[in-house]
């Protein structure tokens, strides 16, 4: 809190020197990661650059062998996705972790159902459906995801709407950060734009957003900063307003070094 006015120094997530080895393969080789409050940070990198390993380390899905992670200034040891969520980091996975025959509200509250007060909730684990549906309705309205009914089965929704539900779920419970893995993959132009709008709304709610994407136009449209991952390390942190797409891709593939870029393109 004391660092309110020097927000450039304050990070919602700060990871230092993350290392993850799978046998002889080094997926993360001393990777750093910094996320500022209320920013949209895109993570890009070639296949095998270690971006999913990096993101999984931050979301508790894997445990790095070395390195430290701080969330909101607190050193954390994330041993499971539940730990990450408790620390205020929500992740929306690429394969859309939804139960398709279940309705929107049930999906939003999966594993976090609101239970009835008193003994019925505590011992019988009975769900307070009324409260749950009301709150789910509220989330969807706030994020303006156009759906007819909160009781609709997720399988009846379009791909974009489904992604909307998954993002709403993350945003509803995140205290600090929502991580989105390829949120616009497999979506049409219109639906992709809808999801981008949704991401901006999530940010305007005061959350920081990390998006992993291969879609360069989307990355350049939405990101405040771009983290470029290569060979298990962060090789550059760049400003999309200054750097060109081709330069970003060049750094990503190793055709250019970060030191070749003009100073103003960097965004540390």
| Sites for other proteins among residues 121-140 (CB under 8 A) | 124-127, 129
Q: Which stretch binds other proteins (CB under 8 A): 98-106, 135-143, 180-188, 236-244?
A: 98-106
Sign of CA dihedral 40, 41, 42, 47: negative
For other proteins, what does the binding mask look like between residues 28 and 67, x meaning CB under 8 A?
---------------------------------x------
Q: Residue 166 corresponds to which tokens in the numbers above? A: 């998954």
Tell me if 24 contacts other proteins by CB under 8 A.
no
Nearest partner of 50 among 260, 257, 235, judged by Cα: 235
Tell me if 102 contacts other proteins by CB under 8 A.
yes
Task: Identify which of residues 173 and 220 has a Cβ nearer to other proteins in the complex.
Answer: 173
Query: For residues 39 and 244, what is the distance between their CA atoms, to the nearest angstrom?
Result: 20
Closest contact distance (angstroms) between CB of 97 and other proteins is: 4
Tell me if 99 contacts other proteins by CB under 8 A.
yes
| Sites for other proteins among residues 78-97 (CB under 8 A) | 80-82, 85, 91, 93, 95, 97
Q: Which three-class secondary structure state does DSSP give residue 34?
A: strand
Q: Which stretch binds other proteins (CB under 8 A): 2-10, 11-19, 106-114, 213-221?
A: 106-114
Q: Which residues pair with 162 in a beta bridge?
A: none
Query: For residues 236 and 216, what is the distance between their CA atoms, to the nearest angstrom?
Result: 16
Task: Identify which of residues 181 and 247 has a Cβ nearer to other proteins in the complex.
Answer: 181
Query: For residues 227 and 211, what is the distance between their CA atoms, to the nearest angstrom?
Result: 10
Query: For residues 257 and 242, what is the distance between their CA atoms, to the nearest angstrom?
Result: 16
Q: Which stretch binds other proteins (CB under 8 A): 150-158, 176-184, 192-200, 243-251?
A: 150-158
Question: Considering only residues 24, 47, 75, 111, which one is a binding residue for other proteins as defined by CB under 8 A?
Answer: 111
Greatest C-alpha distance within the chain:
65
CA distance readout (Å), 11 to 35, 177, 190, 268? 5, 11, 33, 12
């Amino acid at each position: 809190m004391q660092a309110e006015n020097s927000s450039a120094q304050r990070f919602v997530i700060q990871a230092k020197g993350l290392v993850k080895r799978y046998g002889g393969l080094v997926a993360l080789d001393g990777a750093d990661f910094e996320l500022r409050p209320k920013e949209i940070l895109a993570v890009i990198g070639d296949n095998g650059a270690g971006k999913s390993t990096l993101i999984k380390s931050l979301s508790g899905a894997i445990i790095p062998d070395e390195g430290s992670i701080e969330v909101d200034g607190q050193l954390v040891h994330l041993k499971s996705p539940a730990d990450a969520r408790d620390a205020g980091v929500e992740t929306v996975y690429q394969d859309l972790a939804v139960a398709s025959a279940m309705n929107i509200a049930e999906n939003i509250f999966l594993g976090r159902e609101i239970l009835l007060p008193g003994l019925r909730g505590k011992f019988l684990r009975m769900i307070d459906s009324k409260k749950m549906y009301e709150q789910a309705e509220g989330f969807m309205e706030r994020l303006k995801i156009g759906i007819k009914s909160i009781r609709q089965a997720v399988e009846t929704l379009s791909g974009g709407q489904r992604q909307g539900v998954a993002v709403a779920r993350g945003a509803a419970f995140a205290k600090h950060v929502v991580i989105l893995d390829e949120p616009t993959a497999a979506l049409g132009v219109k639906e992709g734009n809808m999801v981008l709008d949704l991401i901006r709304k999530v940010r305007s709610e005061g959350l920081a957003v990390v998006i992993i994407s291969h879609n360069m136009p989307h990355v350049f449209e939405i990101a405040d900063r771009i983290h470029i991952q290569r060979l298990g390390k962060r090789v550059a942190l760049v400003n999309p307003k200054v750097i060109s797409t081709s330069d970003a891709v060049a750094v990503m593939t190793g055709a250019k070094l970060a030191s070749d870029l003009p100073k103003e393109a960097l965004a540390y």
